[in-house]
Amino acid sequence: MSTPANTPPAPRSLDASGLPSHAFGHRAPLWWGVLLMVAIEATTMALLLVSYLYLRGNEDAWRPLRLSWRILELAVVQMALLVASVGPTMASVRAARAGRLRATRSWLLVATVLGALMLALRCLEIRWLPFRWDTDARGSVFWMTFGLHTAHMVTGVLENGMILALLYAGRVEEKHFGDVEAGALLWYFCVLEWVPALALLYFDPLLWPT
């Protein structure tokens, strides 16, 4: 019977009524659920970026279309908005962990508004893009990646909106503070995943000769 020496001995009988009824961070099942969902979406995004690189390797058929400066600027502004929303998100999580309802929802509101602004700019960008998904393969990969990230952002904004509605209008329970943290995980992912995508899809063509 080999049980490793450093495994703690089994408690014979355990009274659970003394345990807290809620926990944050990696102690919480929901946190892991969201983290795994993030892993799935991150894999999806990674696959699309790798596909871009793979297709780009077919040099003779690839057409590195440079985006106009106004689109690049718009993309950078969107990225800036996303990055700016990270601070308020982190603040709302800190407030949630401390159980401070008003601070939690105020910071979350700020973050959500920044995200919504970013989506509004993205609508503008959609109208400015000079190629469509059916223009060529590069257009297809661009729009698919762009579309995936936009879907993530829309989900994030909607989810934050729902949490805000709950925090402002509903019966707030302790576990809803955990929901704030879960939503924040998704939000950080939305910001992080766009960094390599921005670099590859928008700025990589600048490195190619016209």
Partner 1 sequence: MNEALAATWSPGRGLSAWLREVRHTEIGKRFVVTAFLFFAAGGIEALLMRLQLSRPASGTVGPDLYNRLFTTHGSTMMFLFAVPVMQGVGTFTVPLMLGARNLAFPRLSAYSYYVYVVGGLLLYAGFSLRAGPDAGWFAYTPLSGPAFSPGKRMDVWAQMITFTELSALATAVNLIVTIFKLRAPGMSITRMPLLVWAFLVVAFMIVFAMPAVVVASSCLALDRLVGTHFFNHAEGGDHLLWQHMFWFFAHPEVYIIFLPGLGMISAILPAFTRRRVLGYDVVVLATVTTGFVAFGVWVHHMFAAGLPQLGDSYFTASSLIITIPTGLQIFCWLATLWRAPLRFATPLLFVLGFFVTFVVGGLTGVMLAAVPLDLQVHDTMFVVAHLHYVLIGGAVFPLLGGVYYWFPKATGRMLNERAGKVSFWLTLIGFNATFFPLHMLGLHGMPRRVYTYLPGSGWHHLNLFSTVCAGVLGLGILITFVNVVASRARGRRAEANPWEADSLEWAVPSPPPPYNFAEIPTVGSRAPLWEEPSSRGVVTGLATDQREVVVTTLLDAAPDHRTILAGPSIWPLFAAAVTGVGFIVSMFTPWGLPMAVALGVPVMVGWFWPKGKPTPLHAEQPGTKAA
Interface residues toward partner 1, by CB under 8 A: 1-4, 7-24, 26-29, 32-33, 36-37, 39-41, 43-44, 47-48, 51, 54-55, 58, 61-63, 97, 99, 101, 133-141, 143-144, 154, 158, 162, 166, 170-177
CB of 164 to partner 1, least distance (A): 13
Q: What is the dihedral sign for C-alpha 132, 137, 141, 142?
A: negative
What whole-number distance in Å separates Cα of residue 160 and Cα of residue 175? Answer: 15
Kind plus residue range of the DSSP H or E element containing 164 = helix 137-169
Q: Tell me if 115 sits within 8 A of 153, measured CB to CB.
A: yes
Residue 70 neighbours by CB under 8 Å, 6+ apart: 128
Cβ distance to partner 1 smaller for residue 119 or 166: 166
CB of 104 to partner 1, least distance (A): 12
Q: Tell me if 172 sits within 8 A of 22, measured CB to CB.
A: no
Cβ distance to partner 1 smaller for residue 78 or 104: 104
Give the largest CA-CA distance in the chain: 73
Cβ distance to partner 1 smaller for residue 50 or 206: 50
CB of 162 to partner 1, least distance (A): 6
Cβ distance to partner 1 smaller for residue 77 or 91: 91
Q: Tell me if 44 sits within 8 A of 109, measured CB to CB.
A: no
CB of 73 to partner 1, least distance (A): 27
CB of 175 to partner 1, least distance (A): 7
